[in-house]
Structure 1
């Protein structure tokens, strides 16, 4: 009777070892490939995060936008790599519509949205991470200062993933 149970610890050790390798003969974070009629076997990685490791945070690059005005003319830029570039693009765009009037930067913004509301007494702006919030705030600001307000321009310049 003792002989029958002599192999019990060895059998338990084999069963426990088999459960530790849930993916067949492959180490943690890998899964078996091939086998069967393929005639070969191997292991392939499960991919990012499969072994419990965290996927690295994406690297983001700031993007700028700007709005320039000149007595009724509007120039805009979005998605630029620098504040200077955004302002230059907005000023150049404004100058093409200003009929010789001098354009000035109304606002420069980055990694968010902007909205410009125009009314009888001029323009007012707001910025926010959400374009709809920016529009609501710009309208509210405009209506507190003047009449006949409407959204004239809105856009977002969100940070972009670095490739």
Structure 2
């Protein structure tokens, strides 16, 4: 009897075995494609990759995971706006005696008016009357050289109020500012 032929090369395998090898090669190739592309699609640690093909960090506005304000925790808290308290001032004059009184930086209009009238009386005024009250601004009193009727004006600064008072008094060469003060708001918080 003649000896049976033995396969000497791979191509001499039985056909059923060739089909199995072919299927294994195809499966390995498909797996390599799937796992290879998955390896390239993975994002850095802390950046979700599901539905985020660009691996955009979640705190960026164009990320599918972005939530407005979510990244605020890492930033410093925003300070609340300051709270300011109004401050009042007043000027009182006794035209009969030519005496005056003024008071600024008071918490209320009535406190400022009462204080100005009291100061006018302390300065010798017999008929002290309120001529101006102001809030959160400045005042100036101008009078002609040598005495006479005073004029009062309020504005954002003593210089501006003084210029307005002198303009109302008459001429800058004949009038001058005899009093100026500001009652500015006070920061409470």
TM-score, length-normalised on structure 1? 0.70
- Point out where structure 1 has 5 or more consecutive residues left out of the alignment: 32-44, 49-54
| 1:26-49 alpha-carbon deviations (Å, 9 max, x no partner) | x61234xxxxxxxxxxxxx5121x
- Aligned pairs for 1:4-83 (under 5 A) are 4-11=36-43, 16=55, 19-20=57-58, 28-31=71-74, 46-48=76-78, 56-70=80-94, 71-83=97-109
Note if contact 1:121-1:147 (Cα within 8 Å) is conserved in structure 2.
Answer: no
Aligned residues: 137
- Could you list the structure 1 runs, at least 4 aligned residues long, displaced by more than 6 angstroms after superposition: none
1:114 corresponds, among 129, 134, 139, to: 139
Report SS of the residue matched to 1:102.
Answer: coil
Shift in Å at residue 147 of structure 1?
6.9
1:86 aligns with 2:112: yes
TM-score by length of 2: 0.62
CA RMSD of aligned residues (A): 2.7
User: Deviation string for 1:57-106 (max 9, x for gaps)?
Assistant: 433322110011123222111111111110111111111112x5221111
